[in-house]
Amino acid sequence: MMTARGDDAGPAPEGAGGRRGEEPAPPFEMIVVGSVNADLVIRVDRRPMPGETVIGSDLATYPGGKGANQAVAAARLGARVALLGRVGSDGNGEFLRKALSGDGVDLDRLTDTPGPSGVAVITVGADGDNSIIVSPGVNARLSEDDIAAAADLLASARVVSLQLESPLATVVAAARTAARVVFNLSPPAAVPDELLAVCDPLVVNEHEAALLLGGPGEPEQQARALLALGPRSAVLTLGADGAVVAEPGTVTAVPSPRVEAVDTTGAGDAFTGALAWRLARGDGLADATAFAVRVGAASVRAPGAQSSYPYPEDLEGL
């Protein structure tokens, strides 16, 4: 079993030249291509019904976006990670760039773009669960040209992590360039077989799996059905119940530690960022998922997305 120190931290990072006689380490273990948003969060005792008004908490603003979240989750754990994305020319853009830089994410490919930054409006219920509306802003302008300009960098990374808060054509272009693709199909949408075929793994939660597969089902059965769609491997996340890993010929259930959930915002991104990093370090998929489940569990113990993401010492006891 992995522990929060020692094996959990993985091998010490190599210098740019690696060990003598070995292939030089890439400049980044993983690259995230994706969205950068300001999360506007209001806590409520219950969500309003159509036409109803409820009183919530004071508005809190946090750095977020699925791409940025995954990059921060990995960086806090020790990854060498770069983010390819766009932020706007508004005050949120400056706020988001500063937050990412403070967590050690490389921002050389984060482009300042005239227009509004992406924004997510999030309501968090008394049970810690959330509902989210995303306004993409300049995230919608991340383009195939951006991917082409970064093609050598993307090809050099061990893992490229992708989501769907960026245009689908951009995501597909990035997948064509990557050595290994970790793809979180969120928000869920129809995607081409070409993209599914290079996912290793495809990562979805129960709701996303149900939309892909036409309805809910037993988790291990759903995981096998996801694999049958064409990805090289698949991970079905189950919230407090952990995850199920599907690889050719093998399905593995991975339990989660029990924690008291304060806010589940960004937990899936924490999971995926941790998963992508451990795969980049050479873990097998089941072991990487076991680590990522603990990171996801740790992230729900505090409010916000990136602000809740753990450092290695925060995983002790999980």
Consult the annotation and say whether 170 binds a ligand. no
Give alpha helix (H) positions in the chain.
Answer: 66-77, 91-102, 144-149, 151-156, 168-177, 193-198, 206-213, 219-228, 267-280, 285-299
212-221 long-range contacts (CB < 8 A, ≥24 apart) are 212/185, 212/188, 219/244, 219/253, 220/244, 220/251, 220/253
The answer to whether 256 is a known ligand-binding residue is: no
Tell me whether residue 88 is annotated as binding: no
User: Was 237 annotated as part of a binding site?
Assistant: yes
CB 244 within 8 A of CB 252: yes
**64 among the known binding-site residues?**
no
112 is known to lie in a ligand binding site: no
| 68 assigned to a ligand binding site | yes
Is residue 139 annotated as involved in ligand binding?
no
CA distance 246 to 232: 9
> Residue 238: helix, strand or coil by DSSP?
coil
Computed from CA positions of residues 34, 304, 58, 258, in that sequence, does the dihedral angle turn out positive or negative? positive
Q: Does the active-site annotation cover 193?
A: no
What is the per-residue DSSP string for 48-85? Answer: PPTT--------EEEEE-HHHHHHHHHHHHT--EEEEE
Residue 186 marked as a ligand binder: no
115 token code pair: 């227009």
- For 175, other C-beta atoms within 10 Å of its C-beta total 23
Residue closest to 98 by CA, chosen among 313, 315, 246, 306: 306
113 assigned to a ligand binding site: no
Which candidate in 146, 200, 269, 314 is catalytic?
A: 269
Question: How far apart, in Å, are the Cα atoms of 49 and each of 46, 53, 59?
Answer: 9, 8, 20
* Rounded Cα distance, 220 and 73, in Å: 27
- 98: annotated binding-site residue? no
Annotation-wise, does 66 bind a ligand? yes
Assigned token pair, 116:
């509004």
263 annotated as a binding-site residue: yes
Residue 244 forms beta bridges with which residues?
236, 253
Q: Is 240 flagged in the annotation as binding? A: yes
Q: Flag whether 165 is marked binding.
A: yes
Instruction: Determine whether the annotation assigns residue 53 to a binding site.
Output: no
User: Known binder of ligand: residue 129?
Assistant: no
Known binding-site residue numbers for substrate: 37-39, 65-69, 165, 269
Known binding-site residue numbers for ATP: 205, 237-242, 268-269
Catalytic residue IDs:
269
Known binding-site residue numbers: 37-39, 65-69, 165, 205, 237-242, 263, 265, 268-269, 299, 302, 304, 308
